[in-house]
Amino acid sequence: PFCTMGDFSGSWMCSGTENMEEFMKAVGMSWMMRKAAAGFSFGVGKQSLRVTGGSPGSADVTIVTKDPTGKETTVALKTDGVGFKMEGPFGGSGEAKATWEGDAMVQTFTKEGDGQVINFRRQLVGDKLEVTLSTQGITAKRIYSKQ
């Protein structure tokens, strides 16, 4: 796949995932939560994103995630690399930092308590938005198609 420079603002639907159960296990999600997520196919065809400010170099990026149950979560990111407190995407709270690396938006989240670092890399690959997640040597992907 080839990476393209472009704006990933807009509405996206999860169209594929890779290695999500192992990743969820690595971030400490319970067996029951992992099985529930698997029952929803890890969001394929059900989880959506709405992104504003998603062009490389944008100082402010807002991502609204709607999960399979209809619950919306909004994350407003400053891409200046300065840390800020937020609720974690997999539970708990911690510090997040976001920057642009070329055409990719890179975010780190450090959990309070155990200090676990979760990395997110969002970028366009062809006409898909790929979100690569990694922690403790485990990597997973969520792939989104434009709506």
H or E segment to which residue 16 belongs: strand 10-18
Q: Which residue has the higher pLDDT, 71 or 13?
A: 13
Q: Which of 68, 69, 70, 75 is nearest to 93 (CA)?
A: 75
Polymer length of the chain: 147
User: Ramachandran region of residue 27, left (φ > 0), alpha (ψ -120 to 50) or beta?
Assistant: alpha
**Which band of pLDDT confidence, cut at 50, 70 and 90, is reported for residue 23?**
very high
For the cut 80, the answer to whether the pLDDT of residue 73 exceeds it is: yes
pTM score, two decimals? 0.89
90's tokens: 């997999």
Number of H helices, E strands in the chain: 2, 10
Mean pLDDT of 79-94: 84
What CA–CA distance (Å, rounded) separates 108 from 99? 9
Query: Could you give the 3-state DSSP secondary structure of residue 109?
Result: strand
Tell me how far apart the alpha carbons of residues 92 and 131 are, in angstroms, rounded to a whole number. Answer: 21
- 130-140 pLDDT, tens digit per residue, is 999 999 999 99
